[in-house]
Amino acid sequence: MRKQPQRIAELLESPRTNIPVVTAGWVKTFRNDRFIALNDGSTLENLQLVIDPEKYPEDIRKKITTGAAVYAEGELVPSPGKGQAVEVQVEKLEILGEADAETYPIQPKRHSLEFLREKAHLRGRTTLFGAIMRVRSRLAYAIHTYFQEKGFIYLHTPIITAIDAEGAGQMFQVTTLDLENPPRNEEGKVDYKKDFFGKKANLTVSGQLEAETYAMALGQVYTFGPTFRAENSNTTRHLAEFWMVEPEVAFLDLHGNMDLAEDFVKYIIRDVMKERPKDLEFLEKRLLQEEKNLPQAKRSPMPLREKLQFVLDNRFVRITYTEAIEILRNSKPFKKKKFQYPVEWGLDLQSEHERYLVEKHFKSPVIIYDYPARIKAFYMRLNDDGKTVRAMDVLFPGIGEIIGGSQREERPDVLLKKMEEMGIDPEELWWYVDLRRYGTAYHSGFGLGFERMVQFVTGMGNIRDVIPFPRYPKNAEF
Ligand code: ATP
Ligand code: MN
């Protein structure tokens, strides 16, 4: 009869010793025929199990290899060795599942991140991916806590949508039609009336438009769910499937929206620093190690935890798009023609520009607001100048855009004119326009790319390494 194992994180913190304990996990290392370093994923630290080699003959001991699953009962005792406060004197050991040392890919040595991506089903067993996933989980928890404590309502917006007006990128189509032989209408085009939903449908790129409807009923809502973009961008900042956090608030203007965004990201960073200190310490060391051989200019300007603390301690710089353009045009790289893309009022900022502002000029998170209307979405509120909209992007060092948001256009006439200009059929979005007809009010919201936040907190360079199973062009393995 097996007993329910306790979590190693708890055993290591146990205020009492010389008590019977039960543990189970995966072997990290086995040395001197006696010491098993066991990990169960609850913490990055291992629990040392001590076995008596007399009791376990060679043929059993040779099954205790890296990656094997074991179950043990024994006594938790103060450890005489260095490196751990407690250890388990094993009384009963059971090897639940062997891991053939010849083929098991996760050996106790450094593996490249590229190699581990190909072994994504096993990379969670490494100290690094354990730490990343625990940090990710805690951040998700902190996001819910933040909004719930502020009285926001968690809203589940649809994943399948028939809206394609958002323009946030290419969408993935959802269909049950026979692609080899689709039904056709009189004009010879594919007849989506015969498709599952009776119209063309896609995976959502954002829950915002639906969230707005409930913000205009419940006052403060947020969504936190998967979003999909078929953009063919093979970058370290884009996934085809990622998670987005989108609060939407009635009676909130753009400046209130910036306050909310800043308060929110500071809250979740503060929380994860408090709750996952050991994982962050490990991630900080990893980053230092990884950057050791880079030239100074390419290294992170601060150690990981100092960077996080810096974000907490400083007010985010807030500048208008127009001011940003001015700063960029007066900058050294602009004058020396070092920017690849042009800097001109009316053009979108490229990531080289954003990074200059954040990393070189201000050395701080920056919120840029009041963008030209032409480069932003139809639903953003037009300013009195008739040229700019109440948009805001929050830019983070090393990441670039982490949040995009705006005050929404609440005036029906202005909205309809904008839709017409941008070629969006108001009939298609009749319900969205309705919100402006019945009880319209000023309101705002934003979207935080969850994986970009996890990247920032963990210091991981590639977004593919902060989600268990990344989806990107030509990859949907696992
Ligand atoms: P970018 O210009 O970086 O592609 P975007 O302007 O398309 O971003 P929004 O439509 O404003 O982004 O989405 C809100 C947030 O979602 C972004 O600030 C970013 O953090 C995140 N995000 C957008 N696209 C992706 C993606 N493909 N993968 C991961 N996160 C993303
Ligand atoms: Mn994009």
Contact 76, 86 (CB under 8 A): yes
CA nearest ligand 1 atom 21, residue: 449
Q: Which domains does the chain have, with CATH numbers?
A: 8-104 (2.40.50.140), 125-170+205-465 (3.30.930.10)
**Tens digits of per-residue pLDDT, 107-149?**
988 999 999 999 999 999 999 999 999 999 999 999 999 999 9
Ligand 2 centroid–CA 323 distance in Å is 23
Nearest CA to 348 out of 321, 381, 313, 366 is that of 321
Q: Is the dihedral of CA 64, 65, 70, 74 positive or negative?
A: positive
Nearest CA to 220 out of 252, 188, 179 is that of 252
Ligand 2 centroid–CA 263 distance in Å is 24
Q: Kindly give the number of the ligand 1 atom that is closest to the alpha carbon of 244.
A: 16
Q: Helices 430-437 and 208-218: crossing angle, nearest 10°?
A: 30
Tell which one of 208, 264, 401 to mutate to probe ligand 1, the residue whose CB is within 8 A of the most ligand atoms.
401
> Is the distance from the beta carbon of residue 452 to the nearest atom of ligand 1 less than 6 Å?
yes
Write down the pLDDT at residue 311.
Answer: 95
pLDDT band at 233, cuts 50/70/90?
confident
CA nearest ligand 1 atom 28, residue: 238
Distances (CA, A) of 182 to 122, 185, 202, 268, 388: 40, 10, 17, 48, 44
Write down the pLDDT at residue 168.
Answer: 55
- Give the distance, in angstroms, between the CA of residue 69 and the centroid of all CA atoms in the same chain: 30
CA nearest ligand 1 atom 9, residue: 404
When pLDDT is averaged across residues 277-304 and rounded to a whole number, the result is 94
Q: Kindly give the number of the ligand 1 atom that is closest to the alpha carbon of 453.
A: 20
Q: Kindly give the number of the ligand 1 atom that is closest to the alpha carbon of 229.
A: 27
Ligand number with the minimum distance to the CA of 204: 1
**Tens digits of per-residue pLDDT, 20-41?**
999 999 999 999 999 999 999 9
CA nearest ligand 1 atom 15, residue: 449
Sequence-separated (6 or more) residues with CB below 8 Å from residue 316: 258, 262, 364, 365, 366, 367, 394
> Is the distance from the beta carbon of residue 445 to the nearest atom of ligand 1 less than 6 Å?
no
pLDDT band at 165, cuts 50/70/90?
low
pLDDT of 402 > 80? The answer is yes
Q: Which residue has the tokens 């009791």?
A: 55
Residues above pLDDT 90, as percent of the chain: 94
> Is the distance from the beta carbon of residue 168 to the nearest atom of ligand 1 less than 6 Å?
yes
Ligand 1 centroid–CA 48 distance in Å is 44
Q: Report the mean per-residue pLDDT for the chain.
A: 96
> Is the distance from the beta carbon of residue 354 to the nearest atom of ligand 1 less than 6 Å?
no
CA nearest ligand 1 atom 22, residue: 449
